[in-house]
Amino acid sequence: MKIVDWNELPELGVSHNPEIKKRTLIGYNEIPQLMMYGTAVFKPGQEVEIHKHDTMFEVFHIQTGKAVFTISGKEYEVGPGHCITIEPGELHAQRNPFDADVTWTYFGIATD
């Protein structure tokens, strides 16, 4: 068993943009096939460039604010309650062009 207090976790930069901060609730290799489970905060104007994960599903659940996800060349504006699943190999990017923070929980599942 493991209990984690989100309030005590360090804020770390995400790999695609270190200025965007995350807290990892469950880390790589703690659960088979789970790459990570955490939260992130995108401040107004922050973005993650277009990229893909060849061997990982990535799932985002928007908690607060709004963001624009670009998935396979199409833009989607999402807000609280939306859940986005990115499949392995799908090109995707995220940005916050709005005036308020956007927060989400997210996790990745390895396919290899």
Residue pLDDT tens, the chain, 112 long: 778 887 888 999 988 899 989 888 888 888 899 999 999 999 999 999 999 999 999 999 999 999 999 999 999 999 999 999 999 999 999 999 999 999 999 999 999 9
User: What does the alpha-carbon distance between residue 42 and residue 20 come to, in Å, rounded to a whole number?
Assistant: 6
User: What does the alpha-carbon distance between residue 12 and residue 94 come to, in Å, rounded to a whole number?
Assistant: 18
Order of strands, sheet of 17-26, starting from the edge strand that comes earlier in the sequence: 12-14, 17-26, 34-42, 102-110, 56-64, 83-86
Q: What SS3 state is found at 76?
A: strand
- In the chain, the N- to C-terminal Cα span, in Å, equals 26
